Structures are given as structure tokens and as C-alpha cells.
Amino acid sequence: DSGVTQTPKHLITATGQRVTLRCSPRSGDLSVYWYQQSLDQGLQFLIQYYNGEERAKGNILERFSAQQFPDLHSELNLSSLELGDSALYFCASSVAGNEQFFGPGTRLTVL
């Protein structure tokens, strides 16, 4: 157990819908990262937050957004969902400058 929690574990929804994925980092970790894992794109970095502020952005679609709250948990919002958004979404956390520990992931299926 990495200490990073993600909810829900599985999510099934329809095209055009909006979903929110939640992540709680390890105790003491200020950085939260979001990654997407799909068969065609592999593991890709989406976005990073550090102590509530956006720190780095990857190939995140405009339909996706994220935030980190004062209690350091983070949410990834995916809207206008398309079939191609079906993937495993991981959250990771780290103490600044150290290795990232990953949560169990949320498997999103868009029908």
C-alpha cells in the first residue's frame, strides 16, 4: 500500500458526461500528479499541483481540469467525455524532489 488513495476504483459513464476523480496524497506529501494510462498512448503525465498551485502541465486536454484543495487532496475533472478517454487514471504524490508514489488508479470506461 503506497498510502495514496483514489476514488472511485471503477467508473462507467456515457459519452458527453462529466466525471470527477478524487485523490488523497500520502501524509506530508505536498505534490500531487495525475497520469493517464491507455493502450495506445501508454503512461502520460497530465498535470502536477504543489501545495495548491499548478506546477506543471503535460498533454492535458482542455476538457480536463484539476485542482488541489487546502487539505491537499486533489480532483481531476473530465468533461464532454469521449470513447477515447477510457483509460486508467493514476494519481501520485511525493515530497518535493523525491520519488512519486502511485495510488491504485481509477479505471474509467466511457460507453
Binding site for another protein (CB under 8 A): 2, 33, 35, 42-45, 48, 55-56, 58, 88, 90, 92, 94, 96-105, 107
Closest CB to another protein among residues 33, 64: 33
Q: Which three cell numbers stand for residue 12?
A: 462507467
Closest separation in Å from C-beta 107 to another protein: 8
How far is C-alpha 11 from the chain's CA centre? 13
Closest CB to another protein among residues 72, 93: 93
Closest CB to another protein among residues 27, 98: 98
Closest separation in Å from C-beta 16 to another protein: 27
Closest CB to another protein among residues 18, 54: 54
- What gap in Å lies between CA 15 and CA 82, rounded to an integer? 5
